[in-house]
Amino acid sequence: MGGLCPPVPPPATAGRCPPPAGRLPTSSPDRVGIGRPLSFLAVAVARIVAVGCEWGLRMIGTRAVCGRRLGLALTGVWLLCAVVWQRYCPHHPLLVPLLAAPVPVLAYAYRGRRSRLVRELERAREVAVAAQEVVLRPLPPRLDGIEMAGGALSASRGAALGGDLYEVLATAHGVRAVIGDVRGHGLAAIGTVAAVLGSFREAAHEEAELAGVLRRLDRALRRHFGDDHGEEFVTVLLLEIGPGGELTALNCGHPWPYRLYEQPVGPALARQITPGDVLPPLGLFPLPAELPLAHCTALGPGDALVLYTDGAEDARDAHGTFFPLRHALGEAAGSGPIIPAAVVAAVRAALLRHTGGRLADDIALVALRNDRCPLPASFTPRVKRTSLRS
């Protein structure tokens, strides 16, 4: 054995315990080889978790309405990280519960945040509804023997009020009603709606003649628009129902209403009245010196009028078919006594079905039914005083 070095004795292991079976020692080459992949994988998982948390928190702050989807997405991110770590890091089993622990914490925090946002949204909606009802007030069910109901649909998503207006008032001169349509639609037209309705609510009581009411509306609208209002205008229909059902009207570019006749059997009979000339919409031209007051056939007991804006007739379905308003009114009234609230609700539902809820224009409906008893033949209407206002 000459020339050969003696074998080097193994290092002393006195006082040390051998590594357990099935477990690699710290200095094992296999242990060293797996360290780098584990480090890389730990960094990758940490990045996934960080990105997922950042995305989730942003969504919580800006998209609270997507609650269920967001909660599932966050939970999925955490579970994915836990599964990946368990699959490729079997030597660190305690990290699985550590990764899964934030899931209920995040869920609880998100649920609290979402509940607060929902409460704030409900309060904001209540304030908006209250403000809209100040402008477009709900109609009472009955005024001076006239049963009534009204409703509006806005083309703006989430708004109950748009560019259509209506009001019915019991005055010393009779029951007076107005319905109108502001050029344009949605929230941008609310200012003009408020100007017209505010003027009508005052003039309807003060002006003895319907022509005086219209002139007051025209002056208020011109003040609202100012000198340079471009092509802004409002279509307006004014109606007055006398004690015996006498019906007079002034029309400025608005569709004439439908009259519903009560039928004992089958749907009610719906006919559009066209009693006189139509003036241009308010705001485009000055009113003429003589206003063409239309005298309609008296509204008999049990008969009804339905006032509407052109959005009801112009509503189309996905195939471009116009809404059959006349047919819908007859079907909504049904047989027997006409109930205005039922007519408005049924036509509104039919419009939403026809359009699939996608309205291109605002819509307003007002139903008026003469619920008075027939007057005796000896009754003579009170003669009105002539207004001194132009």
Does residue 8 lie within any of the structural domains?
A: no
Kind plus residue range of the DSSP H or E element containing 346: helix 340-355
152, 102: one domain: no
Tell which of 108, 127, 146 closes a domain.
127
155, 290: one domain: yes
- And the tokens for 10? 């193994």
190, 219: one domain: yes
pLDDT band per the 50, 70, 90 thresholds, residue 62:
very low
217, 163: one domain: yes
Angle (CA) 211-212-218 rounded to 5° is: 90
114, 85: one domain: yes
271, 225: one domain: yes
118, 211: one domain: no
CATH code of residue 348? 3.60.40.10
Task: For the chain, list the strands marked E by DSSP.
Answer: 142-143, 146-153, 164-171, 174-182, 234-241, 247-252, 258-261, 269-272, 294-296, 304-308, 363-370
Q: Write the pLDDT tens digit of every residue in 188-203.
A: 678 888 899 999 999 9
Q: Looking only at Cα atoms, what is the longest distance across the chain?
A: 153
275: left (phi over 0), alpha (psi -120 to 50) or beta: alpha
- What percent of the chain stands above pLDDT 90? 43
Predicted TM-score (pTM) of the model is: 0.66
Closest by CA to 252, choosing from 237, 272, 239, is 237
CA distance 158 to 155: 9
Does residue 380 lie within any of the structural domains?
A: no
Q: Write the pLDDT tens digit of every residue in 240-277.
A: 999 989 999 999 999 999 999 988 888 899 999 988 88
Does residue 116 lie within any of the structural domains?
A: yes
143, 290: one domain: yes
Does residue 14 lie within any of the structural domains?
A: no
Does residue 5 lie within any of the structural domains?
A: no
State which amino acid sits at residue 317: D
Domain, as residue range, for 66: 29-127
179, 231: one domain: yes
Residue with tokens 């036509």: 347
Does residue 52 lie within any of the structural domains?
A: yes
Does residue 200 lie within any of the structural domains?
A: yes
Tell which of 103, 127, 151 closes a domain.
127
pLDDT band per the 50, 70, 90 thresholds, residue 116:
confident
| Signed CA dihedral, 98, 104, 108, 113: sign only | positive
Other CB atoms within a 10 A radius of the CB of residue 387 amount to: 15
Does residue 44 lie within any of the structural domains?
A: yes
Residue 168: pLDDT over 70: yes
353, 298: one domain: yes
110, 231: one domain: no
224, 90: one domain: no
Count of structural domains within the chain: 2
